[in-house]
Amino acid sequence: MPTRRTKLGSRWIEYYRETARSPPAATLSLALWLFEAETIRKKQRFAVDLGCGAGRDTFELLKRDWKVLAVDSEPQAIKRARSTASPKHSSKLTTNVIPFDEIRLPRCDLVNASWSLPFCSVKHFNSLWQKIVASIRSRGRFAGHFFGVHDEWATDEEMTFLTLKQVENSFRRFKKELFLEKEWDGTTTSGKRKHWHVLSVVAKKL
């Protein structure tokens, strides 16, 4: 799980190194299973991996024959994400180095945001969320995580922390397929102790 971001991005480089060989996020795995259960005929779909990090979810999407736009504000993340694509899959991958407040999202079947949205500044979060909702096609999905207000990092004004009600209201145009709130004492990827408050969501746009 992520460490708190620093201005120099050094913690992100550590995070990429620690997670590069990790399995895909459980929320993404569920979303992909739900897509695959809906049709027998194979259909190539398009996903945006928002805050792609080291590319573990990007790699899983490419392996499942999705076209992917991998987005991150850190050039090192995009470099690592591109390295996950084999020559066989590289034609299906596009990338963009851009911060959340400047991003434009294309129409897609899935927005995957594993552990990334909390690192959007609160002053830009509502605008970003509106872009996410608008980009997802009807019957498309969102898969990702939010940090709750009891999270240990909740005093950080450069991040976004939401109440359960706020997250629920964000999905009024969706059918919630997974909506899990959890609090626990654990550690970050760097081994530091931390109290977590996380909401994990998979939802299908109506």
Q: For residue range 11-68, what is the model confidence (pLDDT) as tens digits?
A: 666 666 656 567 999 999 999 999 999 976 667 899 999 999 889 999 999 999 999 9
Using only C-alpha atoms, the chain has a radius of gyration, in whole angstroms, of 16
Q: Is the pLDDT of residue 149 over 70?
A: yes
Nearest to 132 by CA among 24, 48, 45: 48
- pTM of the complete model: 0.91
Structural domain boundaries of the chain? 10-123+131-205
- Residue 16: how many CB atoms within 10 A of its CB? 23
Q: Is the dihedral of CA 16, 21, 26, 29 positive or negative?
A: positive
Task: Please choose, from the candidates 97, 70, 103, the residue with its C-alpha nearest in 3D space to the C-alpha of residue 84.
Answer: 70
Q: 9 pLDDT band (50/70/90 cuts)?
A: low
The CATH code of domain 10-123+131-205 reads: 3.40.50.150
If one counts every other C-beta atom within 10 angstroms of the C-beta of residue 90, the result is 12
Please give the Cα distance from 81 to 136 (Å, whole number).
Answer: 22
Find the Cα–Cα–Cα–Cα dihedral 187, 189, 191, 195, rounded to 10°.
Answer: -20
Q: What six digits make up the tokens of 31?
A: 């979303």
C-alpha 98 chain-centroid distance: 15
pLDDT digits (tens, 9 = 90+) for 86-138: 778 889 999 999 999 999 999 999 999 999 999 999 999 999 999 999 999 99
Distance CA 133, CA 61 (A): 20
Asked if pLDDT for residue 4 goes beyond 70, the answer is: no
